[in-house]
Amino acid sequence: MECKSSDSDFIELTDSKLNKFQEALRFKTVSYDDIDYNKEELGKYVKFIIQNFPHLMNCTFVQWEVVNNYSLLFTVKGSDSSLKPYLLMGHLDVVPASNLEAWDAPPFSGQILNGFIYGRGAIDMKHSVMAILEAAEYLVIKGIVPKRSFYIAFGHNEELFDGSEAYKLAQKIVKQGVTELEFISDEGMPLSEGLLPGVSVPAASIGVSEKGSLLMKLSVHGEPGHSSMPQRESTIRILANAVNNLETNLHPSMLGQGVETDMLEQLVPEMNIFQRVLMANIWFFKPLLSWVMSMKPLTSATIRTVTAVTKFQAGIKNNIIPPHAEAIVNHRIHPSQTVDEVIKFDKSVIADDRVNIEVLNKMEPHPVAGYGKKDFGFQVLKTTINQIWPKALVVPAIMLGNTDTRFYLNFTKNVYRFSPTYMYPGDAARFHGINERLSIKNYEQAINFFYHLMRNADRADLVSTHEGHHDL
């Protein structure tokens, strides 16, 4: 049933709730490269949370603790111990803000312009952190003891890809004797308008798997020289050729082999007749569909392993030919591929033994969570999404980025990645970019989304007995 403002359990976004969100955005909880993060601001943010949700913090069926100074773990005890608990995840840190002069409002101001709240973390992911807390606070105020226990885990270094804090939070849950969770909900795909040409309704994509990752360093070593007598091939040229080969030779399309096939099939009813014919015969039209989907970064990343060159370093002086050049390459690996397959492909397109390849970090793609009518966690999210956004078409998808969920996979493979964020065409650039913002209405929706998720997790009528899993 649709969530309406006239409902008795509708959570109105009061000035107090809005001000708390704005204040959360003012904490500069920035994570930089390696293991560097703003400890002072994180400490202030954690203290702010503890002080501003008094009912949650003092509830008899809620236990909470600060883990390693800056992370938070909440244990909400349900009334039915026979039900497996679930986990809501989030992170308190944000990425740095750059090009400050290009922002319409300062990135750590929480300023409101034309109905939007601006700030680093507005969509990644302080909106979800604060919305979860507001929903849980409201649950306690209403005197509702959930049937199913659940955990809320907020790490503080997710943006570093270090994951050490998420691991510690997971171990805290293990120490409580928990070995299995019903499902996990973490940040992920937003609601999007114009996901594909011809699809007019907003699509709510739930990430049922997560891409793997591969971080590599390419390096070339040579002899130094003077700029007046350049060598025929400098280290820069050799490395630049390798980088060019990686960027111009896309990894093969995996269309038809993964979750994206089911996603497209479920979008078919919203398409025109020509598109329906194409989608009904993906096996035949794969080359054409792959070509079309490769035109946009978002859809291209959905069907293949992607390559991003994020650093290129060479040279120490204007008139010296550098003896060394190196570049950092970041791959996000499609669930239908492996790390070894990606490395083999890279070597084949670089085709130059002078380029040394060093693996800095690697992670295989995540297993695929069930997304059929019998899969409880997926149905909880789907039902909740449709209560808040009735016109949205809920589809399974691949999470393109990486999250801390990798440290919780021992609890369950039913990991779902969705952000209650409504994004319009062009908004994707705001994610980790300039003018990150969230509408006031969307923040109210996010609070109600998490409240209804908590209520729906207690329902026993969400699972059909007539459809099997869509496991791959």
> Count of CB atoms within 10 A of residue 77's CB?
15
187 shares its domain with 309: no
d(CA 129, CA 91): 7
Catalytic residue among 41, 93, 187, 458: 93
Q: Between residues 279 and 52, which one has the greater pLDDT? A: 52
Please check whether residue 220 lies inside any domain of the structure. Answer: yes
Interval 216-249: pLDDT, tens = 999 999 888 767 778 888 999 999 999 999 999 9
Contact 125, 153 (CB under 8 A): no
At 215 the three-state DSSP class reads strand
d(CA 318, CA 316): 7
Token digits of residue 343 = 């490395």
Domain boundary among 334, 363, 392: 363
Q: Give mean pLDDT, residues 407-423.
A: 97
Interval 87-105: pLDDT, tens = 999 999 999 999 999 999 9
331 shares its domain with 350: yes
61 shares its domain with 178: yes
Q: How many CA atoms lie within 13 A of 420 on its CB side?
A: 31
Closest CA to 41 of 96, 105, 89: 96
For residue 275, what are the CA distances in angstroms to 27, 134, 260, 269, 288?
Answer: 47, 42, 16, 10, 12
Interval 18-27: pLDDT, tens = 999 999 999 9
Which position has the token pair 């039913």?
414
129 shares its domain with 245: no
Please check whether residue 205 lies inside any domain of the structure. Answer: no
Q: Between residues 294 and 141, which one has the greater pLDDT? A: 141
DSSP secondary structure string for all residues of 342-368:
HHHHHHHHH--TTSEEEEEEEEPPPPP
407 shares its domain with 309: no
The angle subtended at Cα 163 by Cα 158 and Cα 169, nearest 5°, is: 95
Q: What is the model's pLDDT at position 147?
A: 98
Range of the domain at 47: 15-195+367-458
Q: What is the torsion angle, in degrees rounded to the nearest 10, for the CA atoms of residue 58, residue 60, residue 66 and residue 71?
A: -100
166 shares its domain with 231: no
The answer for residues whose C-beta is within 8 angstroms of residue 464's C-beta and 6 or more apart is: 373, 374
Mean per-residue pLDDT of the chain: 92
> Strand pairing partners for 416?
185
CATH number at residue 69: 3.40.630.10
Alpha helices in 27-180 (DSSP H): 39-52, 54-57, 126-141, 164-175
Q: Are strands 112-113 and 86-91 parallel, antiparallel or unpaired?
A: unpaired
The per-residue b/e assignment along 430-453, b for 16 or more CB within 10 angstroms, e otherwise, is: bbbbebbbbbeebbbbbbbbbbbb
Is residue 93 among the annotated active site residues? yes
Please check whether residue 470 lies inside any domain of the structure. Answer: no
d(CA 221, CA 296): 36
Domain boundary among 363, 398, 421: 363
246 shares its domain with 176: no
Domain boundary among 363, 379, 412: 363
Q: What is the model's pLDDT at position 34?
A: 65
Helices 259-267 & 273-280 angle (0-180, nearest 10) = 150
Q: What is the DSSP letter of 99?
A: -
Is residue 158 among the annotated active site residues? yes
125 shares its domain with 261: no
Confidence of residue 464 (pLDDT cuts 50, 70, 90): low
Please check whether residue 200 lies inside any domain of the structure. Answer: no
Please check whether residue 103 lies inside any domain of the structure. Answer: yes
Interval 347-405: pLDDT, tens = 999 999 999 999 999 999 999 999 999 999 999 999 999 999 999 999 999 998 889 99
Interval 377-390: pLDDT, tens = 999 999 999 999 99
Percentage of the chain lying above the pLDDT 90 cut? 74
Strand ranges (E), 375-466: 393-399, 415-423, 437-439
The angle subtended at Cα 244 by Cα 161 and Cα 352, nearest 5°, is: 95
Percentage of the chain lying above the pLDDT 70 cut? 97
297 shares its domain with 323: yes
Closest CA to 153 of 177, 181, 123: 181
470 pLDDT more than 50: no
Token digits of residue 283 = 């096996």
Domain count, the chain: 2
Please check whether residue 7 lies inside any domain of the structure. Answer: no
Catalytic residue among 124, 134, 137, 158: 158
381 shares its domain with 355: no
Contact 21, 117 (CB under 8 A): yes
pTM of the model: 0.90
Q: What is the model's pLDDT at position 275?
A: 83
For residue 183, what are the CA distances in angstroms to 83, 168, 376, 377, 416?
Answer: 12, 19, 8, 5, 8
Helix (H) / strand (E) containing 331: strand 324-333
For residue 10, what are the CA distances in angstroms to 3, 139, 238?
Answer: 7, 11, 61
197 pLDDT more than 80: no
Alpha helices in 223-272 (DSSP H): 235-248, 259-267
Round the CA-based radius of gyration of the chain to a whole number and report it.
24
94 shares its domain with 184: yes
d(CA 107, CA 206): 28
Please check whether residue 237 lies inside any domain of the structure. Answer: yes
377 shares its domain with 345: no
CATH number at residue 328: 3.30.70.360
Please check whether residue 204 lies inside any domain of the structure. Answer: no
469 pLDDT more than 50: no
Least confident residue range of 92-101, 144-153, 188-197: 188-197
